[in-house]
Each structure stands twice: as C-alpha cells, then as structure tokens.
Structure 1
Amino acid sequence: MPLNQVPTGARVLINCLPMHAGLQRRLHAMGVRPGAELEVLRRGKPGGILHLASGMLEFMIRHEQAAEMDVDLVTLH
C-alpha cells in the first residue's frame, strides 16, 4: 500500500523509496531505506505532509512523495 494511505498511529515496513534521487539520498542518510520500520505520527490536512518516525528520528514528507513509497502494514493502533 502507498505510505500516503497509512492511518495515523500505524507502523509499516518500507518496500521502496520515492523516485526522486535527491530525496532517496537524504532518506538513506537518515537510515530510512527499504526494510526500515516507520510510524505515522500525524497527518496534515488532506494532501498535506506526513509526520513520521523511524526509531528516534522524526521527519516529515510530502503527501505526493509518500504516495511513491510502497509499505507493508505491521501494526495498527
């Protein structure tokens, strides 16, 4: 499922990153890569940004970039 469709509080495993090479480099530098677990902390208004956590790291990603990230649901709160 695309990351932009994951509900708040859910934990997911990343299958693939967005296509944009610069964003891939930044995510890799933060340790966010396929196989990593993410938690959706908050969602912006429809079409807004997603506030995510990977371990102790928190970051935000645009809705359209999250749509390019395929993930598998691990847990739902």
Structure 2
Amino acid sequence: MPHLLSAFDDSSAEVSNKLKALIAQKRATYDDDRRFVVNFNLEDRGHQYYLQTASLPFNEEEFHYYMKYALPNVVPA
C-alpha cells in the first residue's frame, strides 16, 4: 500500500504542510468520525494539487486495533 507522502517529491514540504493542516481541520471539526483510507490519488496540476481519497468508516474498537497492530506494519517510521 503506498504511503501518501512517499508518492511524489515534496522536498519543500509544501504538500506535507497542507496535508497536516487538512488533518488538523478534520480533527477539529469531525474528531469522532474515524475513517480508514483505502485509496488515494494525488495530481499535480501545475499551480495546485488535487487530492482525491476513498475511505471507509470503522468503529472505535476497530480504530484502536488498527492503531495498535496494523498501522506500525503499513506506515514507514
């Protein structure tokens, strides 16, 4: 499974910083809506980036299991 930030060159951290801001905004607005991203597509459109995601909701128990066991095996440290 690809890791979003390793999908392209982001040496200036521009996209990384924007993604962090999007995540913070999502958590501030919808903190109780847990989702698992199953696919994504990121396009560099020259003057802007376009990010499209597909996600599935999952319950609190599944979320804690994923964070404890599955995530360390998928996302590089």
Same fold (TM over 0.5): no
Higher relative contact order (CA 8 A, sep 6+): 1
- Whichever of the two has the greater Rg, that structure is 2
